[in-house]
Chains A and B, each alone.
Chain A
C-alpha cells in the first residue's frame, strides 16, 4: 500500500511538470494556433535562468593564499563570493542557498521577454503557414536555443540544489500511521504547479483580459471586429505561456541537474499530453498531464514490469493510442480544433 501511494505521489509530481509545459503549449495553440515545438526549449531556458542566477550570486573575487597550493603547486587562489563579502557569510550564504526560489523573480521578466521576442521575431511570420511549417521552424529554433545554451554552459548537467531548509524528506503518511517518506522539494514542486495552474485559470476566468482572450480563442474574427487588438493580447499570452514553462524549469532544477537537452526530453511527452488532453483544451492538458504522470510511475513498478517487460518505456504512447482510438479529440478536445 505504501508503495502504491508513493507511486501516486511520484506520478503527481511528474505530472506537475508535464501539466505545466502542456498548459503553456495549449495556451499558445489555443490563442495563436501555432504548434510550438520550441516550448521544451523555454522550459530549459527557465532552468538555466536558475543556473545563471546561481552563478551571478557566486561571482567571486580571488585572494592568493600563500599557505595553500593549487593542483600545479602554485599558491592557491581562494574565491570569496561578493555577496558574502557585502552581506557577511551568514546572510550572503543564505542568499546563495536560496538561489533557486529567488530565480523565480529573475526568470519571470526574462521568460516573458524571450517569449515576446520569439513570437514577434519569428513565429508571427508563420501564422498563416501550414502546421508542418510551424513545427519545422519551431523545432529548428529549439535546436538553435539548446546549442546556444550548450555553448555557454557545456553539455554536462549542472548541480543546482534546493535551499538546505527544503532539502531532505518528509513523512507524508505520519498522520495516518503510514510510512510514506517523500522529498520535501518534490512536494513543494507539486504545490507550486497547482498554484501556477490555478493562477492561470483564474486569470483567464476572472479578469477582463482573460475574458477577451477566451473570446478570442472562441472566435478571433468577431473579437477583432469589436475593435479589440486581439493580436496584442495573444502576444502577451505567448509571453505568459513562456513564463509558465520557464517557471516549471526553474523549480525543476533541484529535482534533476539541468542540462541543455532537458527541454527535448520533455517536449515529446508534453505533446502527447496535449493530444491526449485534447488540442486547445486547457483543463484537458492539466488532466492528461497528471494522468500520464501517474500511469508512467505505475508502469515503472517492478510488479508491472515483470508482467509486461518494457512497459515503462511505452506506457504513455499505449495510453495515447487507446484514448485517441476511443476519443479521437482527446479527453476534453473541442470540436473543430485542427480538424479543418
Chain B
C-alpha cells in the first residue's frame, strides 16, 4: 500500500510549478499539435490590422483600415474584386484564403511602439491572428516586426519609410512593400538636378528619430553625389510644433535649398513656417530659394494647404496613376468610400493581397512557407509596375513617383501631380549597401 503524503511544502511547490506553467505567454507554449503559431483549424482565418486609430496619424490609420476592409471584402468574393482582377498572379479566387473565410481584428498602435506591440501581442495571443499588418511609423513597424518574429507570425508592414525596416532591423518574418529613404533620394536626385542644377547648398531639418536620420542620410548622399553641398543638418524634436526658431537660422546660413525630413504634423508645420518666413521668395547665391519635402503624403499635404504648391517630393503611389491596377483600386475604393485612396491605403491593400496570394501559392499558412513564397516573388498589376520582393532583405523594388504640389488643384484630393515615374532600376541598391548594413534577416520563425 503506498503512502501519499500531502505536506504544506509539497502543495506549495506543486502550485508554484503549475502557476508558472499557466503564466507562461501562450505564444511560447502553443500546442505541440499545431505546426505553427495560430494555425487556422476552422472555416475561417483571422488577420490582424494594427493601425493608428488614435493619435496624430489617426486619419492615415483610418484610411489604412478602409483599405484592409476592402481587401477582405475582395478576398471573400465581395465587391468588384479591385486589384485582384489586375494582379499578375491568379492564385486568388475570391473564396477567402485556401478556402477559409477571411476575418479580421483591429488594434490601435497609437503611433507608439509599446502600444503597437501590446495590441499586436493581444491580436496574436487572444484573437489568433496568423498575420499582422499596418502602421504609419517606422518606429512602430520595427517594434512590431521584432515581436512578430519572436511570436512566429508574418508581419506585412504598412507605411514605413526608414531604411532600417529592411536594413539593420530586417527580420525573416517581416516584409515591406512601401519604398524607403534611399529610394526617395535616388528618385529625387535627377529631378532636382534638372530643376535646380548641380551647384546648390542644402540645409536639412530632420525629425529626430530613426526615419528622419535615415532619410537625411539618404537625401544628403544623393544630392552630394550631384555636387550639392550640405551646409547643416539640424535635428528637431519630434514633439516640436513651432519650427520658427529652426527656420530663422536658415535665412543666414548661405543655403539655397531647405530639405524638410519631416512627416505628418511636423511636415505641415515646418513647411508652413518656412513659407511664412518668405523662404520661397528669397534669392540666395543668385538663385531662387527652394524647399524639398522628400516624403510626401496627400493626407498631410492637405494640412499644409497652399504651401505645398510647386514643392517637390516623392511618394510610393498616387491615385491619379493610369495603369490598370491603380484605376481598378481607385474605382473600388472611391465607389465604396466616396474619395480616392491615400498611398498608405494602397500599400496596406497590396500587402494584404500579397500575403493572401503567397498563402495560396504555398498551400499553407505556415509562416515559413509564406516567406518562401514571397521571397523573390515578381508580380505586376498592383499599381507600381513590375515589382520584386527581394529575397535578401524582404524589400519591394518597384517604380518610385516624384511628385510636386499642384498649382491649380481642381478638387480637395487633387493636391499633388506626378512629375516623373522613376524606373525601378534607378532606385535599386545592393543588399549589403552601407545604408542598410548591420542587420541580419535570420531564419523564419513558425512559432509553435
Interface size on A, residues (CB 8 A): 44
For residue B326, give the distance in angstroms from its CB to the closest CB of chain A.
11
For residue B201, give the distance in angstroms from its CB to the closest CB of chain A.
15
A257-B272, A262-B241 are known contacts. Are A157 and B249 too (CB-CB below 8 A)? no
Q: Does B408 contact A (CB under 8 A)?
A: no
Q: Are A256 and B273 in contact (CB under 8 A)?
A: yes
Q: Does B410 contact A (CB under 8 A)?
A: yes
Q: Which of chain B's residues have a CB closer than 8 A to the CB of A158?
A: 303
Q: Pick the contact of A71: B246, B273, B330 (CB < 8 A).
A: B330
Q: Which residue of A lies closest to B203 (CB)?
A: A302
A2-B252, A157-B268 are known contacts. Are A181 and B59 too (CB-CB below 8 A)? no
Q: Does A337 contact B (CB under 8 A)?
A: no
For residue B106, give the distance in angstroms from its CB to the closest CB of chain A.
16
A6-B251, A262-B241 are known contacts. Are A183 and B246 too (CB-CB below 8 A)? no
For residue A59, give the distance in angstroms from its CB to the closest CB of chain B.
15
Q: Are A255 and B242 in contact (CB under 8 A)?
A: yes
A-B contact pairs, 21 of them (CB 8 A): A2-B252, A3-B252, A6-B248, A7-B245, A7-B248, A14-B242, A68-B410, A71-B340, A71-B413, A76-B411, A154-B59, A155-B58, A157-B268, A158-B303, A169-B277, A169-B278, A181-B251, A255-B242, A256-B241, A262-B241, A305-B234
Q: Pick the contact of A13: B55, B59, B234, B244 (CB < 8 A).
A: B244
Q: Are B265 and A259 in contact (CB under 8 A)?
A: yes
Q: A13-B244, A159-B305, A301-B249 are in contact. List 8 more A-B contacts (CB 8 A).
A: A10-B244, A71-B330, A150-B54, A154-B59, A156-B268, A168-B278, A257-B272, A301-B245
Q: Which of chain A's residues have a CB closer than 8 A to the CB of B244?
A: 10, 13-14, 186, 297
Q: Does A39 contact B (CB under 8 A)?
A: no
Q: When chains A and B are docked, how far (Å) is the Cα of A118 from the Cα of B251? A: 44
Those of B376-421 within 8 Å (CB) of chain A: 410-411, 413-414
Q: Does B237 contact A (CB under 8 A)?
A: yes
Q: Are A297 and B245 in contact (CB under 8 A)?
A: yes
Interface contact tally, CB-CB below 8 A: 123
Instruction: Write out, one digit per residue, whether chain A residues 157-182 have a CB within 8 A of any chain B CB (1) or not (0).
Output: 11101000001110000000000011
Instruction: Write out, one digit per residue, whether chain A residues 298-329 have a CB within 8 A of any chain B CB (1) or not (0).
Output: 00111001000000110000000000000000
Q: Are A157 and B278 in contact (CB under 8 A)?
A: no
B residues apposed to A, CB below 8 Å: 54-60, 232, 234, 237, 239, 241-242, 244-246, 248-249, 251-252, 265, 268-269, 272-273, 276-278, 281, 299-300, 302-307, 319-320, 330-331, 334-335, 339-340, 410-411, 413-414
Q: Are B269 and A157 in contact (CB under 8 A)?
A: yes
Q: Are B303 and A159 in contact (CB under 8 A)?
A: yes
Q: Does A221 contact B (CB under 8 A)?
A: no
Q: Which residue of A lies closest to B302 (CB)?
A: A156
Q: When chains A and B are docked, how far (Å) is the Cα of A237 from the Cα of B334? A: 50
Interface residues of A, dominant DSSP: mixed
Q: Which residue of B lies closest to A297 (CB)?
A: B245
What 7 pairs across the A-B complex have the smallest Cβ distances? A159-B305, A157-B303, A155-B58, A300-B245, A169-B278, A183-B276, A297-B245
Q: Which has the most chain B C-beta neighbours within 10 Å: A167, A182, A300?
A: A300
Q: Which residue of A lies closest to B335 (CB)?
A: A72
Q: Does A185 contact B (CB under 8 A)?
A: yes
Q: Does A133 contact B (CB under 8 A)?
A: no
Q: Pick the contact of B248: A3, A156, A168 (CB < 8 A).
A: A3
For residue A111, give the distance in angstroms from its CB to the closest CB of chain B.
21
Q: Which of chain A's residues have a CB closer than 8 A to the CB of B278?
A: 168-169, 181, 183
For residue A166, give the distance in angstroms from its CB to the closest CB of chain B.
11
Q: When chains A and B are docked, how far (Å) is the Cα of A262 from the Cα of B265? A: 11
Q: Which of chain A's residues have a CB closer than 8 A to the CB of B232?
A: 302
Q: Does A70 contact B (CB under 8 A)?
A: yes
Q: Pick the contact of B303: A168, A257, A313 (CB < 8 A).
A: A257
Q: Which residue of A lies closest to B305 (CB)?
A: A159
